[in-house]
Amino acid sequence: MIPKVKEILDRYNEIERLISDPEIMTNQRRYTELMKERGRLAKIALRGRELEKVQQQKSEAETILKESGHEPEFVEMAREELVEFVEKEKKLTDELEDLLLTDTAEGHRNVIIEIRAGTGGGEAALFAADVFQMYLKYAEKKGWKTSILDTSQTNLGGLKDVIFSVEGDEVYKHLQFESGGHRVQRVPATETSGRLHTSACTVAVLPEAEDVDIDLKAEELEITACRASGPGGQHVNKTSSAIRIVHKPTKITVVCQTERSQRRNRDLAMKLLRTRIYEKKLSETKQKRDNIRKNQVGSGDRSEKIRTYNFPQNRVTDHRINFSVHNLEGVLTGQLDEIIAKLFQADKEARLKNLSK
């Protein structure tokens, strides 16, 4: 059995013992943590159990064939079963290898996405709005739910920045490679001479923290209600519905003002704060993964230019895998599956090389 599968199966079996312990069952937080971990490991662990059983059956059939004194019919049956067990073993091993290469600890999570206009002035803000709409439409095609946490618009309909959540099945698994710099090459609507401009925006895809990941203590938080700024009419100007939270130990600050309800803004701000702290925890362990990261599709760093959207050539190019599609309009309307599938494959191949070292 693949060593990593054995490790996961051992941990899964340990968790099953722990969750039946009366002391654990009365500790709601610990019990919830273990159940979530059990759920994450189940897919690989249960197939690992199947593989263990098949390998045992295969071993028994091989023993029968090596021994003498058995009836010919019994030997022939063992020979036929051995062929079947070898095929099952290969199938399960291939499935487990695939799961190891594509399933990550964060893959099941919802995400919070931050998009910020970069170089290019007003055109960059318009492009940021286009990228935002691209992800909204992709989420809609996948049946995912989206919620805006914070946004800052320009007078021309562009976005200086937007922060939004995406909830659904394996959201982070599909969107994990979208972090980085996105560049557009096109003639802006405001350009009278027809000159081609290059603008950019940055995207950060953060796996959303769950309550059990980050324990926020009241004494560590500085929560302030204030009046929302920006578009919103009389209601925004007259009520203190916006929420600002500072996490004192890390100095991380979040603001949420998209909802009319102060309570709803507080809930969304807490969600964003947990995710920012969780991201900080992940980034602090990044150094340990650097050797692996160098062999994968990308670092997820905002400064890394990952993709160009070229309007004159109707082309979208992902620079990490040197892959292009000539369907720019389709991509901007959420048709991202082809690019994401190629990124999956490239990352899987890189991980496989790393596993074989």
* DSSP assignment string, 149-178: EEEEE-TTS-EEEEEEEEESTTHHHHHGGG
The span from the CA of 271 to the CA of 315, in Å, is: 36
* SS3 assignment, position 317: strand
User: What does the pLDDT read at residue 155?
Assistant: 87
CB 9 within 8 A of CB 45: yes
Backbone angles phi, psi at 2, to 5 degrees: -60, 130
In this structure, what token pair is assigned to residue 245? 């939270």
Q: Which residues pair with 180 in a beta bridge?
A: 203
User: What does the pLDDT read at residue 233?
Assistant: 39
CB 222 within 8 A of CB 246: yes
User: What does the pLDDT read at residue 68?
Assistant: 81
| List of the chain residues with pLDDT < 50 | 231-237, 289-296, 299-300, 357
Nearest to 352 by CA among 44, 102, 40: 102
Sign of CA dihedral 302, 306, 311, 316: negative
Backbone angles phi, psi at 325, to 5 degrees: -125, 140
Nearest to 326 by CA among 310, 337, 305: 310
In this structure, what token pair is assigned to residue 146? 């989206």
Burial (0-12, 13-18, 19+ Cβ within 10 Å), 272? buried
User: What does the pLDDT read at residue 343?
Assistant: 94
- Domains in the chain (CATH in brackets) are 3-102 (no CATH), 111-208+287-355 (3.30.70.1660), 218-284 (3.30.160.20)
Nearest to 1 by CA among 80, 93, 94, 110: 93
